[in-house]
A = this chain, B = another copy of it.
Amino acid sequence: MASLDSPAILLNPIDDVAAARRKIRPGEFTGIDDIIACEIIPRGHKVALRAIPAGGEVRKFGQVIGRATQDILPGQHVHLQNLAVVESQHEHRFSVDIEAKGMIPPEDCRTFMGYDRGAGGVGTRNFIGILTTVNCSATVSKYIADHFNRSGGLDGFDNVDGVVALTHGGGCAISMKTEGYLYLTRVIQGYARHPNFGGILMIGLGCETNQIAPILEHYKLEESNRFRTMTIQQLGGTRKTIEAASEMIREMLPSVNAVKRTRQPLSGLKVALECGGSDGYSGITANPALGHASDLIVRNGGTSCLAETPEIYGAEHLLTRRATTPEVAEKLLGRIDWWRDYTARNGAELNNNPSHGNKAGGLTTILEKSLGAVAKGGSMPLRAVYEYAEIIRERGFVFMDTPGYDPVAVTGQIAGGCNVVCFTTGRGSVSGYKPAPCIKIATNTDMYDHMQEDMDLNAGTIATGDESIEQVGARIFERIIAVASGEKSLSESYDYGDNEFVPWQVGAVT
């Protein structure tokens, strides 16, 4: 492997390409073997380390990331013009890497300060949530939240983090027989149960397809002083609904405010792992560092949840090896089959996921991106695979089937019970996901410097040779515990999270 300050980084000794630490100019030595760049290699992009004939496999991370579409010479830029994805044809071996290494004895495990909700889990925040069945109750719900957040309605209730209205564009003109309806109701019930809420109001219009009553019945939710429901049509319109709802929240506030943080084992933590706006550094800095933090969470008795199925596509064989049972592995492969069908019937492709920004950052193929994405999941055994927005009941490292699209993915993870979000980004995503805090981890120092007010942590130090993956991983782990205990993340300081609730819409809107 090249030294920590060479122009290019070799990630694995068998690799055919190296990643440029900075822009490399034609004629410049890459720092690896005797390879001289023969054209510009942009920062984060790949340089060929040997001649690769057209059709030949190209390796990065020690794995095949695609095939050459034309002859490639040593020192050439390897990207869209000469590299393309190959269909996944890896040998699937189930449950061969399932040793839970480094588990910490319970008495030595770390703790955090959380809100004990009994059987409902442990909260890292204490919000009042307004859930909406349909877009038609969005505006009323926003007004109710505004009434408390902006007009002094929370004065004297310092222990309440705010009232958040989670609105969306769906809820009617959908078939109740479809996955779309299933996913929407699962998301709503998951949020209704989330331990970061001290109280919940569920508001419908009244005549929508997505009725309140079937949600309560199917998911066994019961109304109480802290869980109320209503419809605008029953109450007689906008003003009357706002008044009735505000009165209900006023009634909830004293008891919601009375809950105090107490010392809790890390088994109360469920960490959502997410990446957005990835670049060529994601897979070599922030994602492996987050993977290390994920391992620390799991070793301390907590749960971490990888997601974004299209982003792990092509690297699923690394996860099925880690599945604790063949059933867990089969469930993962079953979801990947579902995705093949879902994308095919919608005229999309599973292998076109690298976005405009990803490509500009140097990622060429979905396989390359997938290997980098899976790195967020660390090395612990995979204990369960969940469908979108299913409640996460297993402890340890788990996977949830979601799209890669950030707001949809995180909405599913939070519905599953995640109470902290860790979000790596190379291009610089800005977002938050109430009621869970979100920690942003920059993959490179240039972006970190440029967008420092939005980036909680910089993993770019791994690329500059200033820190190891383990050091950055340990910093992420400590920040997770601090934020879970009440320290505000940067996106919380901007009060992000009122607009990023996006339940996965699957199927037709009629």
Residues of A within 8 A of B (CB): 135-136, 138-140, 142, 150, 167-169, 172-175, 177-178, 205-209, 211, 232-233, 236-240, 276-277, 310, 342-343, 345-350, 352-353, 355-358, 360-361, 403-408, 427-432, 450-454, 494, 496-500, 502, 504-505, 507-510
Contacts and interface: CB of A to CB of B under 8 A. Distances in A.
A406 B135 CA distance: 9
Contacts of A276: 136
A490 B429 CA distance: 38
Contacts of A178: 346-348
B355 A172 contact: yes
Nearest to A240: B453
A509 B348 CA distance: 9
Given A342-B508, A403-B173, A502-B169, A237 B138 contact: no
A404 B142 CA distance: 24
Most B CB atoms within 10 A — which of A140, A353, A407, A498? Answer: A407
A348 B500 contact: no
Contact of A209 (B136, B140, B236, B355): B355
19 contacts: A136-B407, A136-B431, A139-B497, A139-B499, A142-B498, A150-B150, A172-B406, A173-B403, A178-B347, A205-B277, A206-B428, A207-B355, A208-B355, A232-B430, A237-B430, A238-B494, A347-B508, A348-B507, A404-B510
Given A427-B207, A451-B237, A404 B173 contact: yes
Identical copies in the complex: 2
For the complex of A and B, 5 pairs with smallest distance between CB atoms: A207-B357, A173-B405, A346-B508, A207-B427, A169-B502
Q: Per DSSP, are chain A's interface residues mostly helix, strand or loop, or mixed?
A: loop
Nearest to A366: B510
Contacts of A168: 169
Contacts of A451: 233, 236-237
Contact of A454 (B237, B497, B502): B237
Given A236-B450, A510-B403, A139 B498 contact: yes
A336 to B, nearest CB: 13
A505 B499 contact: no
B432 A177 contact: no
Given A356-B209, A357-B206, A177 B347 contact: yes
Contact of A510 (B174, B277, B350, B432): B350
Contact of A135 (B358, B427, B502): B502
A509 B505 contact: yes
A453 to B, nearest CB: 5
Contacts of A206: 277, 357, 427-428
Nearest to A146: B150
